[in-house]
Each structure stands twice: as C-alpha cells, then as structure tokens.
Amino acid sequence: MTTIQCLIVAASIMLGTLATRFAPFVLLPKNRPVPKLVEYLGGTLPYAAMGLLVIYCLKDVAWLSGAHGMPELISIALTAGLHIWRRNTLLSIAAGTICYMVLVQVIFV
C-alpha cells in the first residue's frame, strides 16, 4: 500500500471508531427515556456473547482423541464455579485462562 492509501485506511478506521463511540450519546440523549428494545438488548446480548465465545472456543476440540477436551472442560468448570461463587468477572476469566494454560502446557502435554 502507498502512503496515501495507508492514511486513508487509518482515517477510515478512526472515523468508524469515533462514530460508534459517539452514536449512543447522539441517538439516546439524557432527556429521553431509553427505548425498550435497547433495554432488552442490554440485558440479553452479554449472555449471548458469552455463549458464542464458549462455542467458538470449543469448536476445534478433538473430543475423540488425546485428552478428550479435559483441559477445556476443567477450565470452563473452574470459570463458571468461580463466577457463581464470587461474582467477579475479572477473577473468573483470569483464573480460567491461567488454569487452561497450565493444563495444556504442563499437564496435558
């Protein structure tokens, strides 16, 4: 890519990012109530996104060979258990990630 093309791409990315950051403030000002659809999506989409991420992470697991997905299942159980117990998203995700890395790098080699 030429220098001009790189600048055009960078400017497009910047404008797209700014537009998505400022759109909620422009479309949903403080003096108007939040539409019911936006409230519904705000309550539903986080769970849908987490489900999608779990499915994405498990899509390439070889269930019929090797460790049979044990590192993944152990890490998911730890993450879910910690989250149910402590209700701390950062702790749950960090512990699950560290557990998975230890399992695949040290135990299930």
- Domain match, 50 and 90 both: yes
Tell me how many degrees the CA angle 59-65-70 measures, rounded to the nearest 5. Answer: 65
- Domain match, 40 and 24 both: no
Whether the Cβ atoms of residue 91 and residue 85 lie closer than 8 Å to each other: no
Our count of domains for the chain comes to 2
Domain span including residue 18: 1-32
Query: 1: helix, coil or strand?
Result: coil
Q: Does the structure show a pLDDT above 90 at 11?
A: yes
- Domain match, 61 and 13 both: no
Residue 88's nearest CA partner among 100, 97, 80, 76 is 80
- Domain match, 101 and 52 both: yes
Query: What are the pLDDT digits (tens) for 25-83?
Result: 998 888 999 999 999 999 999 989 989 988 998 999 988 888 899 999 999 999 999 99
- Domain match, 16 and 67 both: no
